[in-house]
Chain A
Amino acid sequence: MSAISSTLALIRKDVHSELRTRYALNALLMFVVTAVSTIVFALRSDQPTSSVLSGLYWVVVFFTAMSGLSRTFVSEEERGTTMTLQLVATPSTVYFAKLLFNTALTFALTIAVTILYMTVFSNAFVIKTMSIFIGTVVLGSLGFASASTIIAAIVAKANTRGTLYPVLSFPILIVLLMTVMGATTKALDGEELSSALGDFQILVGYILAMTGGSYLLFDYVWKD
Chain B
Amino acid sequence: MKFAKYGSIALITFVLIAGIAIPLSPTPQGWLQFPVIPGLGEKARNILYHVPVAWTTVVAFLVSMYYGFRYLKTRDIEYDIKSVSSAGLGFLFCFLATITGALWAKFNWGSFWNWDPRETSIFVLLLIYGAYFALRSALETDEKRATLSAVYSIIAGITVPFFIFVMPRIMSGLHPGAKGDPDGSGPVVQFKMSPNMLVIFLLGLLGFTLLYVWLLNIRVRLAKLEYERSSHQS
Contacts and interface: CB of A to CB of B under 8 A. Distances in A.
A168 B139 contact: no
B162 A217 contact: no
Contact of B139 (A157, A202, A206, A217): A157
Interface string A126-158: 000000000000000000000100110010011
A220 B147 contact: yes
A150 B155 contact: yes
Interface of B: 72, 120, 124, 127-128, 130-131, 134-135, 138-140, 144, 147-148, 150-152, 154-156, 158-159, 162-163, 166-167, 170-171
Given A198-B170, A209-B158, A213-B158, A175 B163 contact: yes
Q: Give me the 3 closest cross-chain CB pairs, A-B, nearest first.
A: A171-B127, A158-B138, A171-B128
Contacts of A178: 167, 171
A48 interface: no
A172 interface: yes
Nearest to A166: B131
Q: How large is the interface on A (under 10, 10 to 19, 20 to 34, 35 or more residues)?
A: 20 to 34
B139 A159 contact: yes
B154 A217 contact: yes
Nearest to A175: B162
Interface of A is mostly: helix
A147 B140 CA distance: 24
8 contacts: A160-B138, A171-B127, A175-B167, A178-B167, A213-B154, A217-B155, A220-B72, A221-B148
A151 B234 CA distance: 33
A214 B155 contact: yes
A16 B20 CA distance: 69
A171 B159 contact: yes
B167 A150 contact: no
Nearest to B166: A202
B162 A164 contact: no
Given A158-B139, A171-B127, A174-B124, A221 B170 contact: no
